[in-house]
Amino acid sequence: MPPDPLAALRASLAEQLAALRGVAAEELPAPLLDVVVRDHGGIYLIQPADWEALRHEEGGAGRGVPYWARPWPAGLALAAMEPPRGRVLELGCGLGAPSIAAAKAGAEVLATDGSSDAVAFTAHALALNEAVATVAVADWADHGATLVDGGPWDVVLAADVFYTAANVQTALRLLPRLLEPGGELRIADPGRAGARDFLAAARHTFTLDSIPGEDVTLHTLRRR
Ligand SMILES: C[S@@+](CC[C@H](N)C(=O)[O-])C[C@H]1O[C@@H](n2cnc3c(N)ncnc32)[C@H](O)[C@@H]1O
């Protein structure tokens, strides 16, 4: 049998995923390590091959839905925009496409997600794409102050993150503190009610330009 070309990647992923979860590698769910590499418009993402199997396994273990583990249309649309420059923070990076695109174009990027699994996948995808960026586990509800201390950021990226009311409220409090005046917030939204609520409230603090697409609207907000 030919050698498995992804064996080294899987081994490295398993080591990091286990360390971040604080478990032995043998305890990781099998669908988490059954990964494939896919080319999304020139960006290579590492993704679990069977998202439904992973969701099932995580649910059975009492863990949340692994929303991070799919390449959502919003993340791919944000990654396809003209890359941001300067100091860039991505919130809810999932598999990391926008951060990889920005880092490849020379931005100084911090890719974050509340899920440590997402951060491990993004770190490995950055390396696969020969892009350099920093990654961190950060839930905005718990680590907002740390993200503010790391700022101010020139650009904040967020793709499909307004699917809970709690996220909308936290983001409304946090985002103005992350950006300096003139700083840019780029949101990719597949039509979530939460995004509508966020944008309606954010108009007090930001100017708004929107580009509607077939599945995803790209919003650029600038801090007044
Ligand atoms: C629907 S997925 C989108 C993933 C990626 N941005 C994309 O478009 O492919 C939402 C992501 O936001 C992350 N997330 C949701 N709420 C969060 C929070 N409060 N703090 C940090 N990350 C969060 C999830 O872990 C997940 O990776």
- 35 and 133 co-located in one domain: no
Q: Are residues 128 and 23 in the same domain?
A: no
Mean pLDDT of 15-36: 97
Describe the crossing of helices 165-178 and 140-149 by its angle, rounded to 10 degrees. Answer: 10
Distance 2 CA to ligand 1 centre (A): 37
Residue 1 domain-assigned (yes or no): no
198 lines ligand 1 (CB under 6 A): no
Largest alpha-carbon pair distance within the chain?
62
Domain boundary among 44, 67, 90: 67
Q: Is the pLDDT of residue 1 over 70?
A: no
pLDDT of residue 117 exceeding 90: yes
pLDDT of 192 > 90? The answer is: yes
Indicate if 55 and 89 belong to the same structural domain.
Answer: no
| pLDDT over 70 (residue 205) | yes
Q: What percentage of the chain exceeds 90 in pLDDT?
A: 94
What is the full DSSP assignment across 128-174? HTT---EEEE--HHHHHHHHHHT--EEEEEEES---SHHHHHHHHHH
Q: If you measure from the C-alpha of residue 4 to the centroid of ligand 1, how many angstroms do you get, rounded to a whole number?
A: 31
- Mean pLDDT (whole number) for 43-63: 98
| Type of residue at 38 | R
pLDDT for residue 214: 95
What's the domain count of the chain? Answer: 2
Q: Are residues 208 and 121 both part of a single domain?
A: yes
Confidence class for position 172, pLDDT limits 50, 70, 90: very high
**pLDDT value at residue 4:** 82
Residue 18 pLDDT grade (very low, low, confident, very high; cuts 50, 70, 90): very high
Are 202 and 174 a contacting pair, CB within 8 Å?
A: no
Task: Say what the pLDDT of residue 69 is.
Answer: 98
Task: Name which of 218, 101, 81 is nearest 160 in CA terms.
Answer: 218
Q: Are residues 125 and 207 in the same domain?
A: yes
Q: 182: alpha, beta or left, given left = phi > 0 and alpha = psi -120 to 50?
A: left
Closest approach atom of ligand 1 to CA 93: 6
- Confidence band of 138 (pLDDT split at 50, 70, 90): very high
For the record, the structure tokens of 212 come out as 């509607």
What is the rounded average pLDDT of the residues 135-157? 96
Per-residue pLDDT averaged across 107-113, rounded? 98
Q: Which of 51, 161, 173 to mutate to test the pocket of ligand 1 (most atoms within 8 A of CB)?
A: 161
Rg (the chain; Cα; Å): 17
Say if ligand 1 is within 6 A of residue 114 CB: yes
Same domain, 165 and 193: yes
Per the prediction, the chain carries an average pLDDT of 96
Determine the structural domain holding residue 114 and report its residue range: 73-223
Q: What is the mean pLDDT of residues 120-135?
A: 98
Question: Does the residue 129 lie in any domain?
Answer: yes
**From 2-16, 121-135, 183-197, the region with the lowest mean pLDDT:** 2-16
Please report the pLDDT score of residue 188 as a whole number. 98
pLDDT of residue 224: 84
CATH number at residue 163: 3.40.50.150
Cβ contacts of residue 44 below 8 Å, gap of 6+?
37, 38, 125, 128, 129
